[in-house]
């Protein structure tokens, strides 16, 4: 591990806005704040999660725009969380926190009905691995364990494959759609919250990719079925290089 990553890990250990509970710690200790998140924020405002938050840009921007909600950015990569956590600390943003853990652990971290909304922003579409897809039936049923009744899930993505897959899953299972567009910025739906742009989203837009967005509500009966996907065309590009985000990485066999 590089010295810079080690420095970041040391720093986030000291930041009050960061909780670190990877799987091994949960197994050893449990999670002491399940059902107590409102006490950590010091208010009873709705709790909103961003899954796979990366550097925390979206979490921070959401917290700044919506002061009457509490936001938690979640990622397993501590060196990524560092950037957002430093901003929250420096700017004294009281309604944002970060949680370092695997998304698979969230049912052990949040109590039933403790979360109001979930944002999933530009996740890996996992075109070959359904079980790792953050909008798969398996994950959505897990989310239902801690979302409020009729809790809302937002997906914002550059991936045509993931967008179409999620639309089909929602339709097959009769979940209530709130908003749906294959071109967010050309649809008139891009309000100030949905228009928040991270560094990588700006790169996608500069590349000429349209941003897709769908939001839907969980149902009372969460015995979901997977949709048919064999005819969904695979994305013809990969994510940006971490070292040079202007490089295209094309592949038709992802």
Q: Are strands 96-100 and 115-121 parallel, antiparallel or unpaired?
A: unpaired
Active site residue 124: yes
Sign of CA dihedral 165, 170, 172, 177: negative
Distances (CA, A) of 63 to 36, 49, 60, 105, 247: 20, 11, 5, 23, 32
Q: Which of 75, 124, 180, 236 is catalytic?
A: 124
Calpha distance 87→58 (Å, rounded): 12
Q: In what order do the strands lie in the sheet with 147-157?
A: 18-20, 96-100, 70-75, 47-51, 115-121, 147-157, 212-217, 177-181
Calpha distance 96→89 (Å, rounded): 10
Q: Are strands 177-181 and 147-157 parallel, antiparallel or unpaired?
A: unpaired
The residues, ordered by sequence, that sit 6+ positions from 111 with a Cβ below 8 Å of its Cβ are: 34, 35, 146
Q: Could you tell me if 233 and 161 are in contact, meaning their C-beta atoms sit under 8 angstroms apart? A: yes
Helices (H), the chain: 3-12, 23-29, 37-41, 57-65, 78-90, 137-144, 160-172, 184-187, 199-206
Residues catalogued as catalytic: 124
């Amino acid at each position: 591990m590089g010295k810079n990553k080690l420095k970041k890990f040391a720093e986030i250990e000291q930041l009050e806005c960061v909780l670190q509970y990877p799987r091994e710690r949960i197994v050893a200790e449990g999670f002491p704040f399940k059902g107590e998140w409102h006490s950590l924020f010091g208010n009873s405002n709705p709790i909103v999660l961003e899954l796979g938050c990366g550097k925390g840009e979206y979490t921070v921007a959401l917290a700044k725009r919506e002061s009457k909600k509490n936001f938690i950015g979640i990622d397993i990569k501590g060196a990524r969380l560092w950037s957002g956590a430093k901003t929250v600390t420096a700017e004294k943003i009281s309604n944002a926190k970060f949680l370092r853990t695997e998304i698979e652990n969230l049912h052990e971290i949040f109590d039933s009905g403790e979360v109001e909304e979930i944002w999933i922003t530009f996740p890996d579409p996992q075109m070959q691995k359904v079980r790792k897809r953050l909008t798969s039936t398996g994950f959505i049923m897990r989310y239902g364990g801690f979302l409020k009744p009729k809790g809302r899930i937002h997906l914002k993505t550059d991936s045509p494959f993931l967008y179409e897959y999620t639309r089909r899953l929602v339709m097959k299972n009769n979940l209530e759609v709130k908003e749906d567009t294959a071109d967010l910025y050309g649809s008139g739906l891009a309000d100030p919250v949905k228009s928040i742009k991270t560094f990588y989203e700006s790169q996608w837009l500069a590349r000429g990719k349209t941003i897709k967005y769908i939001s839907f509500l969980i149902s009372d009966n969460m015995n979901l079925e997977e949709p048919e996907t064999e005819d969904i065309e695979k994305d013809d590009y990969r994510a940006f290089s971490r070292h040079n985000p202007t490089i295209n990485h094309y592949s038709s066999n992802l």
